């Protein structure tokens, strides 16, 4: 994903804070970022009616969000598909990839090592072991980066490789257009001519009967000819409630690799790497504050760094910590109350009927050990605490904490009951500390 797309992800959240969910879903669902440079932001909307509505009613919202993000005024253009293709030098749609997305620029940690390793294996030996490869996880954690890194690696070795790069929404749009223009056979052939098919956000075809039918037939044909298929999704196939059962079995028949929230150490490595790559001046305290504060989304880490860079460039001096905190708070405003590890331990001890002293102690009885592991898991996933911070609170070393986190993650995947209990605990903790 390029800088314009990353910026649009941040802007969407800002715009959504001022518009209803219905307005966002109705008018902005098909909008994509094209370019950002010289205080100009370029979007594309393939639906002419929606494009007209955005231009006539919602451009002030987009401009205000840009100003809040960069503290500067921007011109905003919303292009049609034809205008976008002309703007991008007549490049064919669905065949562009981010040259910045490489395996070497991907920061590897415990949260993403499986996805990284399988993506590398696919790039090295297409369609040999992991086909299809489905990378899933929440938005902004690096799924698209890995998918594009595969394409860049493969094309770097052999430029004759035919890559089709699309998304769940684009698949539907292509099919609607093909049906309207009676070109479904040409559309199908376009996909069948590929050696590597990349589909981002495949979850969006769930519930769309005709799109699923078309993709099922295309998937089978490509798989039989040895085409490598790489998909990303925000959830595993079992959680796509309206996904055709035949597609579900196809997706689950390959390799599924999840990406979870990065731990503190990985986030700090990401911050320093992003800053060095963008040549942004960040002192150690700033880097640590970003890693501590932004726990859910890698794109937000980049967003903070990009805004720091822009503000420093405009002001022509390194930021003070006060100026820096103002930027950081715009991405993650502090709440009046915050949850601590002690709050987590207290609620877990009540929930499981064991004492706080037992959780932090040496007892290895089944119920106490489970409560202790769950408390560590919540401190890591809910609070974004590092393994060292968790270890200090529970009087455990780094390796013991990591073992507990992996154990609970595995058990959650095997037990819906444990998963539900952890969600209940999260809700209880959040409510009591609101």
Pairing of strands 196-200, 163-167: parallel
Q: What is the pLDDT of residues 353-379, one digit of tens each?
A: 999 999 988 888 999 999 999 999 888
Please say whether the dihedral angle defined by the alpha carbons of residues 20, 142, 222 and 94, taken in this order, is positive or negative: positive
pLDDT of residue 94: 41
Say if strands 32-37 and 40-44 run parallel, antiparallel, or are unpaired.
antiparallel
pLDDT at residue 325, rounded to an integer: 85
d(CA 237, CA 410): 17
CB 42 within 8 A of CB 35: yes
**Angle 298-315/3-16 helices, nearest 10 degrees?**
100
Enumerate residue ranges in the chain where pLDDT < 70: 1-3, 38, 70-72, 88-100, 333-338, 413, 431-434
pLDDT for 78 equals 92
What local confidence, expressed as pLDDT, does residue 43 receive? Answer: 93
In order of their start, the domains of the chain are: 3-87 (3.30.300.180), 113-259 (3.40.50.300), 264-331 (1.10.8.60), 341-432 (1.10.1750.10)
Confidence at residue 98, expressed as pLDDT on a 0 to 100 scale: 44
> Distance between CA atoms of 100 and 106, rounded to whole angstroms?
10
pLDDT of the residue at 300: 84
CA 206 to chain CA centroid, Å, is 19
- Closest residue by Cα to residue 175 from 231, 223, 214: 214
Contact 37, 75 (CB under 8 A): no
Return the pLDDT at 3. 65
pLDDT value of position 405: 85
> pLDDT tens across 167-210, in order?
888 888 888 888 888 888 888 888 888 999 999 989 988 888 89
Residue 89: per-residue pLDDT: 41
């Amino acid at each position: 994903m390029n800088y314009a797309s990353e910026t649009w992800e941040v802007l969407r959240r800002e715009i959504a804070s001022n518009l209803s969910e219905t307005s966002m879903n109705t008018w902005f669902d098909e909008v994509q970022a094209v370019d950002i440079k010289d205080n100009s932001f370029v979007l594309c909307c393939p639906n002419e009616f929606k494009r007209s509505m955005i231009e006539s009613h919602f451009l002030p919202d987009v401009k205000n969000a840009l100003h809040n993000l960069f503290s500067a005024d921007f011109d905003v253009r919303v292009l049609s598909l034809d205008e976008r293709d002309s703007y991008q030098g007549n490049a064919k749609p669905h065949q562009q990839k981010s040259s910045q997305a490489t395996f070497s620029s991907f920061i590897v940690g415990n949260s993403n090592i499986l996805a990284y390793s399988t993506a590398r294996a696919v790039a090295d030996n297409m369609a040999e072991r992991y086909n299809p490869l489905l990378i899933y996880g929440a938005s902004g954690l690096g799924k698209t980066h890995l998918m594009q890194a595969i394409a860049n690696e493969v094309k770097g070795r052999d430029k004759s490789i035919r890559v089709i790069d699309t998304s769940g929404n684009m698949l539907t749009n292509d099919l609607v257009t093909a049906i309207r223009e009676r070109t479904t056979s040409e559309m199908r052939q376009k996909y069948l001519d590929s050696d590597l098919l990349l589909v981002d956000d495949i979850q969006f075809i769930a519930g769309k009967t005709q799109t699923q039918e078309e993709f099922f037939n295309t998937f089978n044909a490509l798989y039989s000819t040895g085409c490598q298929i790489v998909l990303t999704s925000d959830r595993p196939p079992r959680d796509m409630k309206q996904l055709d059962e035949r597609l579900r079995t196809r997706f689950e028949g390959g390799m599924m690799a999840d990406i979870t929230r990065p731990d503190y150490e990985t986030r700090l490595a990401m911050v320093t790497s992003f800053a060095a790559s963008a040549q942004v001046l960040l002192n150690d305290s700033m880097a640590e504050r970003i890693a501590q504060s932004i726990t859910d989304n890698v794109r937000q880490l980049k967003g903070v760094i990009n805004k720091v860079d822009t503000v420093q460039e405009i002001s022509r001096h390194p930021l003070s910590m006060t100026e820096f905190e103002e930027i950081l708070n715009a991405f993650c405003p502090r709440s009046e109350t915050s949850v601590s590890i002690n709050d987590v331990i207290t609620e877990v001890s009540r929930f499981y009927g064991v004492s706080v002293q037992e959780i932090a102690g040496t007892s290895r009885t089944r119920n106490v050990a489970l409560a202790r592991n769950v408390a560590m898991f919540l401190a890591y996933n809910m609070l974004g605490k590092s393994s060292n911070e968790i270890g200090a609170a529970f009087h455990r070393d780094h390796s013991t904490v990591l073992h507990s986190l992996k154990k609970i993650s595995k058990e959650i995947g095997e037990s819906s009951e444990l998963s539900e209990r952890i969600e209940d605990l999260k809700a209880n903790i959040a409510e009591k500390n609101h």
